[in-house]
Amino acid sequence: MQIKRFFINKLALNVGERHELVKEDYNYIVVVTRARVGDSIIIANNTGYDFLCIIKEITKNTVTIEIKEKLQNNKEAKLNLTVCQALVKGDKFELITQKITELGAAELIPFTSTFTVVKENTNKTERLNKIAEQASAQCGRAKTLKIAEITTLKNLSKLLSNYDLVLLAYEQNKNSLKEVLQNSHSAKSVAIIIGSEGGFSKEEVDYLEKELKNLKTVSLGARILRAETAAIALSAAVMYERGEMS
């Protein structure tokens, strides 16, 4: 049986230590996944390492683990992928968070733009972080998706100026995604920008094209995809092209 994995962000772990876990960590490990005394589990804490632990004791509301081994985790993507997503309704944002974490993205930047109907994130950051952590644990990652503060489309031009490549998904564009990706194999950091249900205004596209010298506007094909499909599909296409899916 595969060893169960858990994600406990920001908990410093060192071999030999014992930790008593409570509340949601206890709940997830003991109640949800039914781990028992003597079981081996792996805990990742966003450091890039896996920590092999043994469950030493379980009480009514605590679980004590002992850290046995620190293991290098090699499942992180070599490419640094950031997904900038215009705000969409709650459950879609959760789906995007989960799927891009599985695909290996490093960061999610939510933003507002002219046609975003949702003006503030209906998801609590805490909830999105939990979704990302569980997705990380489930797919074997040792790091989780960083979820940035909500920003504006205008501000993206500042946040993304240092990326090697920025891809703006715009359905009225004719640039071939395939060509753009094939010509950017040296890019170590890639950001993608996806609109909300309402898409982007022409002015917004012009603005980003003018401000970001590293930006390429791309088409995702003849069909108009829903925002969540576009975010997941483009993340997958970038990862595929960079050999992260082989």
Residues lying near ligand SAH in the complex (CB under 6 A): 169-171, 194-195, 198-200, 219-221, 223-225, 227, 230
* Token pair in block for residue 144: 């989780």
Q: Which residue's structure tokens are 């040296």?
A: 186
CB of 28 to ligand SAH, least distance (A): 34
Q: Give 30 or 230: the residue with its C-beta nearer to ligand SAH.
A: 230
Min separation Cβ 169 and ligand SAH, Å: 3
Please report where in the chains the tokens 């891009």 appear, as a residue: 100
CB-facing half-sphere around the CA of 244: CA atoms within 13 A: 22
Pairwise CA distance, residues 231 & 235, whole Å: 6
| Encoded amino acid at 36, one letter | R
The minimum distance between CB 51 and ligand SAH, in angstroms, equals 39
Q: 68-93: buried (b, 16+ CB within 10 Å) or exposed (e) per residue?
A: eeeeebeebbebbbbbbbbbbeeebb
Structure tokens at 123: 């998801």
| Nearer residue to ligand SAH within complex by CB, 47 or 114 | 114
For residues 59 and 176, which CB has a smaller minimum distance to ligand SAH in the complex? Answer: 176
Nearer to ligand SAH by Cβ, of 63 and 166: the residue is 166
Q: How far is the CB of 181 from ligand SAH (least distance, A)?
A: 14
* C-beta of 54 vs 225, nearer to ligand SAH: 225
Question: CB 192 → ligand SAH: shortest distance, Å?
Answer: 9
Between the CA atoms of 76, 80, 84 and 88, what dihedral angle is there, to the nearest 10 degrees? -10
Closer of 156 and 194 to ligand SAH (Cβ) = 194
CB 100, min distance to ligand SAH, A: 14
- Within 76-213, residue ranges assigned H as helices are 90-103, 125-139, 153-159, 177-182, 202-211
- Report the 10 Å Cβ neighbour count for 243: 11
